[in-house]
Amino acid sequence: MSLSDYLFTSESVSEGHPDKVCDRVSDTVVDLFLAADPLSRVAVETLATTNFVVLAGEVRGPDTLDHEAFKKAAREAIKDIGYEQHGFHWRDAEITSHIHSQSADIAQGVDSADNKDEGAGDQGIMFGFACDETPQLMPAPIQYSHQILKAMAEDRKSGVQPGFGPDSKSQVTLKYEGGKPVRATSVVVSTQHDASLSQAEVREIVRPYVEKVLPAGWMPPEEEFYVNPTGRFVIGGPDGDCGLTGRKIIVDTYGGAAPHGGGAFSGKDPTKVDRSAAYAARYLAKNVVAAGLASRCTIQLSYAIGVSKPLSVYLNCDGTNQVDLNQLSQVLCELVDLSPRGIREHLGLSRPIYARTAAYGHFGREPEADGGFSWERTDLTEKLKTRFGA
């Protein structure tokens, strides 16, 4: 028997968090290549510390993209995040690039040739999830955590709230009754701030952002509303803590409310199924819930490097399904070709749409006109309803 009354917590981190700075830089390089050639291959990692950034990885694409182009792109990404601090400044930071050509051994396994279709860029398992807790069909704790920080960042960057710095974190704990969230029992927000602001002042600046995001009446008790609990957060970002690409994979997905295959997304082109298949699994799970065929849906896909078909497709709706799971799994595989090429083409993934995914979650976002967040579309719902007479 599953537990129906419980507390559950998820966290988010802002675009200025040191690991997210690195995710953003890596995804900016991905976009740089895909804008020049949609068939580029990119696997780029970033490290950031006090006024120092290192790029490393393997690529295949236009020769016009060189180390200077990579460093310029990194600097522009850091500028857009908003770092103009003594210990980390977009203009002054030393940036080095050790990006080199992709391994020929990997390329021959992934590329299509003769009768061989495009293979997966690596082996691995990927999960997708959706539930009816929020309009975005995301778990409520992670969705609210993202929304708090995103609203704060928008006001910081627009100048509405100049007291905020780029680096911040949030954490929301919700009380569930009968398996449904009913209120927040605690909220934690830590934000980098201007040195002139006291902890009490920062607390009151942050409060309306939390109140606006949480449903009415959901604010936790005053003693469970924590803002900068260390008391001071002036030194932040890569100057305060070293950052690396791919260290916030639970923040990127479902906040721990669903399984994660273990692979990071940022810095990878869409032939890497760590990224594209996780997007496809979310797309399918979201459409199942949006069609009313289940209130929760988890999908797992698995792949082998160089092999075009998924090795397995697993579906679990935690007993909330209104239709037969075996039939549902079969129909989903008929509606979407889950080969790496099929996913890439169905979702239009070979575009420069990835820098925007690097913070505030890859899921629970609005599909955009240029193809961004295409995996959040619910365009399969009518087909699913028709197939199942729903």
Residue 118 is labelled as binding a ligand? no
The pLDDT confidence band at residue 135, using thresholds 50, 70 and 90, is very high
**Closest Cα to residue 346, out of 276, 243, 264, 288?**
276
Mean pLDDT of 204-216: 98
CATH 3.30.300.10 domain locations along the chain: 6-12+140-234, 124-132+270-388
The response to whether 268 counts as a known ligand-binding position is: yes
**Which tens digits make up the pLDDT trace of 54-93?**
999 999 999 999 999 999 999 999 999 999 999 999 999 9
Residue pair 61/40 in contact by the 8 Å Cβ criterion: yes
pLDDT at 69: 97
Does the annotation flag 92 for ligand binding? no
- 17 annotated ligand-binding residue: yes
Q: In terms of Cα–Cα distance, which of 123, 62, 116, 121 is closest to 271? A: 121
Determine whether the annotation assigns residue 280 to a binding site.
Answer: no
Angle between helices 273-290 and 381-388 (to 10 degrees): 60
Determine if residue 175 is labeled as part of a ligand binding site. Answer: no
Q: What is the pLDDT of residue 108?
A: 54
pLDDT reported for residue 192: 97
* Average pLDDT score over the chain: 95
User: Token digits for 291?
Assistant: 């069609």
Spatial distance between the Cα atoms of 357 and 340, rounded to a whole number of angstroms: 20
pLDDT tens digits for range 20-48: 999 999 999 999 999 999 999 999 999 99
**Strand order, beta sheet including 312-316:** 124-131, 296-303, 312-316
Q: What is the DSSP string of 294-310?
A: -SEEEEEEEE-BT--S-
Is 233 annotated for ligand binding? yes
Answer yes or no: is pLDDT of 95 > 90: yes
Model pLDDT, residue 109: 57
Euclidean distance between CA atoms 190 and 201, whole angstroms: 13
Across residues 166-176, what is the average pLDDT? Answer: 98
Is 50 exceeded by the pLDDT of residue 1?
no
CA terminus-to-terminus distance, the chain: 28
Q: How would residue 105 be classed by pLDDT, with cut points 50, 70 and 90?
A: low
Mean per-residue pLDDT, 216-244: 96
Tell whether 116 is in a known binding site: no
> Would you tell me which CATH number, out of the four given (3.30.300.10, 2.30.110.10, 3.10.180.10, 3.40.1080.10), belongs to the domain 6-12+140-234?
3.30.300.10
pLDDT score for 106: 56
**How sure is the predictor about 306, in pLDDT bands with cuts at 50, 70 and 90?**
confident
String of b and e for 43-75 (b: at least 16 CB within 10 Å)?
bbbbbbbbbebbbbbbbbbeeebeeebbbebbb
Rounded mean pLDDT, 263-268: 97
Does 168 carry a binding-site annotation? yes
Q: Is the pLDDT of residue 390 over 80?
A: no
Is 114 labelled as part of a ligand binding site? no
Q: Is the pLDDT of residue 17 over 90?
A: yes
72 is in an annotated binding site: no
Identify which of 266, 263, 324, 252 has the alpha carbon closest to the alpha carbon of residue 294.
324
> So what's the pLDDT on residue 167?
98
DSSP string, 128-194: EEEETTSTTSS-HHHHHHHHHHHHHHHHHHHTS-TTEEEEEEEEEEEEEETTEEEEEEEEEEEEEE-
Enumerate the H helices of the chain as residue ranges: 18-36, 67-81, 104-110, 140-158, 199-213, 249-252, 273-290, 325-335, 340-347, 381-388
Confidence band of 7 (pLDDT split at 50, 70, 90): very high
pLDDT at 110 over 70: no
Confidence band (pLDDT; 50, 70, 90) for 389? confident
Average pLDDT over residues 165-170: 98
pLDDT one-digit tens code per residue, 270-285: 999 999 999 999 999 9
Query: How much of the chain exceeds pLDDT 70, in percent?
Result: 95
User: Please, which pLDDT band fits residue 173 given cuts at 50, 70 and 90?
Assistant: very high
Q: Is 147 annotated as a binding residue?
A: no
- Residue 387: its pLDDT value, please? 95
Q: Tell me the mean pLDDT in the region 240-268.
A: 97
Give, in words, the CATH class of 124-132+270-388: alpha beta
